[in-house]
Structure formats: C-alpha cells, structure tokens
A and B are shown apart, each in its own frame.
Chain A
C-alpha cells in the first residue's frame, strides 16, 4: 500500500506506540483487502466499551492499564499493551451491553455495571463520545453526502451510505479503534464512487407502507441480493427515517447489504437510470404478494402463543416511535406474565421523559431501556421462552442468540399482544 509521509511517521512510531500499532493494523487490513491507499476520515463510530464478561479478566481492577490492555488487544489487535492517547478525530461509542440506569432489571452483575461506568470515564477522557446507541444518526452524528466515515453497526452503515449518501464500509471493532487514533481507513469498496452504483433491481408489485412492511421488504432484499447493491422500482409510498432504518437493518441481517438506492428518495439516485449510472437495467427481482407472505412466514420462529416478552426498539426507537408506543399504551396495562422493554437512545429518552411518554409506558408495566438491546446484552427477563418484536433484525438474531421462540409483527400487534399476554399476530 502507498502511505503518505505522515502515515509513515505514524507507522514508524514517531507519533507514539498506539498510533504505530493502529497503522500496523490498517496496513495488514488494507493489504488483505487489496487496497492501494488509506483515506482520511473525521467520523468514526465503533465499539470500545470494556464491560462484557469475556473481557473482565483483561481489565483487572478497572484501572487505566486494564482498559489500555483491552483497547490494545481488542481495538488494535496488538499483543503489547500500549498507552492509549486521545482520539485524533471525532469518534463515538455505539450500542453497549448494559443500561446504566436499568441494569438491575436487565439482570446484569452489578460489578460489570460498575466496570462499564469506569470504562466510560476512561473512554470519555480519550474523546470518545458516549452516544451508546446503534443509531448515532438519530442523536446528532449525521454525516454529509460524500463524507468518508469509518462506522461499525451494519444497520447504521447501510443508513449512512444509502440515506445520507456518506461513504463507509462495514468496519469492525479493531479497524474503528485504529481509525479513531489515526484518522485513516482503507480506501476501498464504498469509499470509491465507482463502486456505489446499483447492480440489482427489485420491482415492487405490492404496497409497502407500514413500518413492519418495510422491515419485511428489507428481510426479503437481504436474502435475494446478499452483498449486492439493489435499486428499487415501483415504490408506492414515501418512507421516512423510521421506515428506512427498519428496512436497512433487516436487509443487513438476512444479507450483507451496505448500500441501496431508492430513486427520488435517496440522494445518489435521482432516477432509476442514475442509480445504475446509465448501464442497462438488469432483469428485475419481483416482490409480489407471494414473496411478501413467504418472508413474513420466514420471520416467525415460534409455535407457542403464550407470550413472555415483547421487545420494541431495534434499531433504537426515534422520538416518534416512543410517542406511538405511549399512545398505544395510554390507560392500559400489559399482562402480568408478559414483560415489555422499549429501547431508545439515552438522548431521545430524555425527550420521552419530558414529554411524559416514559411515564405512560412505565405505568402500563413496561420498561424504557437505553444504551443496549437484548441481542447485544444477551439479557432477557428471567424464564423467557417466547418473545415478540416489531423488528425483523431482532426476530432474526434473538432466537439464534438466546434460544427463545420469536414472533414478528407490527408495533400495534406487539403492543396488543403484550396486553393480552399471548401472540395475536396473523400473517395476512
């Protein structure tokens, strides 16, 4: 790979050991990709928190050296422990395993919650912004079109590329650590404009409007195109942030979609022809009534209708979604045998608290969670066997990770089922 003089000086250790380790990793990673050079980035979103059971033995007493050991090993892939300096460029923490205010309800070991507090102070001192959400774009990190980013979190990456028109590959725990310290990431894949055109076409033969329908379309899309870049034809309704958030999260779960184009909606595709940069359109993949129904059925991984747990807010809810959940629960009570957790970024929770939504949800027997989700934390209420969720992504992952049965449906179906204590959803 070609390095600039400044990048070479980082690699040679002239800017300190941590940046040398970071450059060494970026070099190995870039060569593995076949990249020719690095690109500057000033927007990094990664996973730095050191508070999972698996890193506990590395952290020790939770002093600075313990956290340096975790960052060196897991965020830089370095065998030596190096002092970690302040991040060079704006860097934020994505979702974590522990809600710092609800960890007792989560069933988290109090010692781990204390460790997370220490980890957050360690990272904050190094300039890592504690957004603690899978949706940094909902709480102020909104890159501009064309901006080079280094983001983890597949649902955030697909949003960043497709809806915002910024440029990022799916980065990982190690590459975001290196990017935060150096302000560099391999110039490869979606950083290069010539790689951003559509190469698959999906044609809708059914209406897609409700958020759950966008989730199902996304889930279908991921299975059909895997890592490819689809453009869509025949959209019947204008989506919004919430719907594309769900659509993208699903497409990045059943497949590896990192970029899609919706003509007239997403910024790099004013028209269908523009999405393909003038190339001939490929034969369309049809999403009709049959495909829609089959995908809905594929998302149901449950047989028992007695419901133990309802999970809302994957990816983390917007304020509009918090408002909608509160509206559905106003004056009602969820079934005593069913738990309801609603997940939203802490910054949005503050608005929900102030608007009275949190109180309505809690009075109904629900819990508003931030900083985490059950798939990341692997924490569910005790004894849960059957869950329901309004998220295709969570319906995909949670049964695999926690061995529960999972139902998928709309937010309305989920809330009604939480009140009834049994799954009321039907696949239409």
Chain B
C-alpha cells in the first residue's frame, strides 16, 4: 500500500527513434505481435484476433508496448485509419523491426522507439505511466502503485 512517504518508482531507458515526437500516457503491454488488417478494429482501436491475449482491449490513447507487427500487409493502412479515426495509440514501443511496423509507425505519426538498452517487457507493466520523448530517444516509466 502506498503512503505519503513512498515515492513512485521511476525508471528511464533509451531507444532509437523510429518516429519523432513526445507523448505521455498509460501503458498497454503485450508480448504477442499484433496483426493490423484482420487483427484490430480501426473503429475503436481494439484487438480482434481471436486467440490474442489483448482480445477485446483497446490501445487508443495508450502507449502500446509490443514486440511488433505480424500478418497482412494492410498493417500500415489499418493503423493509418486509426489515426484518421482518432483511435491510434499515443506512442509505440516495439522490439522487432519489420517493414510493416516501420511504415505503420510512420503513417500513424505517433512517437515511436525501438532498439532499447533494456528489456521493455521486464520494466513496463500495463497501467504504468510512460513518457516517450522519441526525439531524445528517452522513455520514462512511472510504475503504477501496487
């Protein structure tokens, strides 16, 4: 339980800029890759893939922490539509570079980093507050209480 004397735990790590910009939002973390076309709904930013651990959850306005993209080449077009519909993530942190995720991040136009100096899946949990300064290559994590 948190008390007045407890300071929230803050962790910083570095990565390589994929798309510049700054954002601060709650994290949504999955260790499973995500499909764009056929894997998400562009209407509300939710994951629709049947056996995915995020099935039914939305990344809209969240810092999406995930290994990267899989599946159809419609990946970028679906994340592009999420931007146009206002259902895109606030920022993206991923570990596995592919053309799908690179192009997808570029057209989603949200701060995006990869190539981290630490394990993002170890350090970030869903619900943590994450500040992404992609121009500086900096991620600041404020752990959620509990």
**0 or 1 for each of A25-67: is its CB under 8 Å from B? (1 = yes):** 1001100111000000000000100000010000000000000
The smallest beta-carbon distance between A205 and chain B, in angstroms, is 26
Q: How far is the CA of A396 from the CA of B38 in the complex (A)?
A: 9
Q: Which residues of B contact A226 (CB under 8 A)?
A: 33, 70
The smallest beta-carbon distance between B117 and chain A, in angstroms, is 16
Q: Does A10 have its Cβ within 8 Å of any Cβ on chain B?
A: no
The smallest beta-carbon distance between A103 and chain B, in angstroms, is 21
Which of B16, B103, B112 is the one whose CB lies under 8 Å from A171? B103
Q: How far is the CA of A169 from the CA of B18 in the complex (A)?
A: 18
Interface SS of A by simple majority: helix
Q: Does A142 have its Cβ within 8 Å of any Cβ on chain B?
A: no
**0 or 1 for each of B101-132: is its CB under 8 Å from A? (1 = yes):** 01111110000100000000000000000000
Check B73–A153 contact: CB distance below 8 A: yes
Q: How far is the CA of A74 from the CA of B103 in the complex (A)?
A: 12
| Residue of B81, B99, B105 with most chain A CB atoms under a 10 A cut-off | B99
The smallest beta-carbon distance between A111 and chain B, in angstroms, is 21
Q: Does B57 have its Cβ within 8 Å of any Cβ on chain A?
A: no
Check B77–A256 contact: CB distance below 8 A: no
Q: Does B74 have its Cβ within 8 Å of any Cβ on chain A?
A: yes
Interface size counted on chain A using CB atoms at 8 A: 38
Q: How far is the CA of A34 from the CA of B115 in the complex (A)?
A: 11
Q: Does A291 have its Cβ within 8 Å of any Cβ on chain B?
A: no
Interface size counted on chain B using CB atoms at 8 A: 34
B residues whose Cβ falls under 8 Å from a Cβ of A: 16, 18-19, 33, 38-39, 42, 48-50, 68-77, 80-81, 96-100, 102-107, 112
Check B103–A54 contact: CB distance below 8 A: no
| Residue of A153, A227, A301, A396 with most chain B CB atoms under a 10 A cut-off | A227
Q: Determine, out of A208-216, A379-387, A397-405, the stretch whose residues face the partner at the interface.
A: A397-405
Query: Which partner residue on chain A sits nearest B77 by CB separation?
Result: A173
Q: Does A375 have its Cβ within 8 Å of any Cβ on chain B?
A: yes
Which of A32, A152, A227, A400 is the one whose CB lies under 8 Å from B18? A32
Check B50–A33 contact: CB distance below 8 A: no
Check B99–A400 contact: CB distance below 8 A: no
Which of A28, A77, A172, A253 is the one whose CB lies under 8 Å from B75? A172
Counting from the closest, the 9 A-B pairs by CB-CB distance are: A172-B76, A152-B73, A32-B102, A173-B77, A169-B99, A256-B70, A397-B38, A172-B103, A33-B102
**0 or 1 for each of A120-158: is its CB under 8 Å from B? (1 = yes):** 000000000000000000000000000000011110010
Check A33–B39 contact: CB distance below 8 A: no
Q: Does A72 have its Cβ within 8 Å of any Cβ on chain B?
A: no
The smallest beta-carbon distance between B15 and chain A, in angstroms, is 12
Q: Known interface pairs A170-B98, A172-B74, A375-B38. Does A256 touch B80 (Cβ–Cβ under 8 Å)?
A: no
Check A401–B48 contact: CB distance below 8 A: yes
Q: Known interface pairs A32-B105, A375-B38. Does A171 touch B99 (Cβ–Cβ under 8 Å)?
A: yes
Q: Does A342 have its Cβ within 8 Å of any Cβ on chain B?
A: no
Check A25–B106 contact: CB distance below 8 A: yes
Which of B48, B69, B98 is the one whose CB lies under 8 Å from A400? B48
The smallest beta-carbon distance between B138 and chain A, in angstroms, is 18
Check A174–B80 contact: CB distance below 8 A: yes
Q: Which residues of A contact B33 (CB under 8 A)?
A: 226-227, 256
Q: Does A188 have its Cβ within 8 Å of any Cβ on chain B?
A: yes
Check A172–B70 contact: CB distance below 8 A: no
| Residue of B38, B68, B72 with most chain A CB atoms under a 10 A cut-off | B72
Q: How far is the CA of A396 from the CA of B16 in the complex (A)?
A: 34
Q: How far is the CA of A411 from the CA of B74 in the complex (A)?
A: 27
The smallest beta-carbon distance between B108 and chain A, in angstroms, is 10
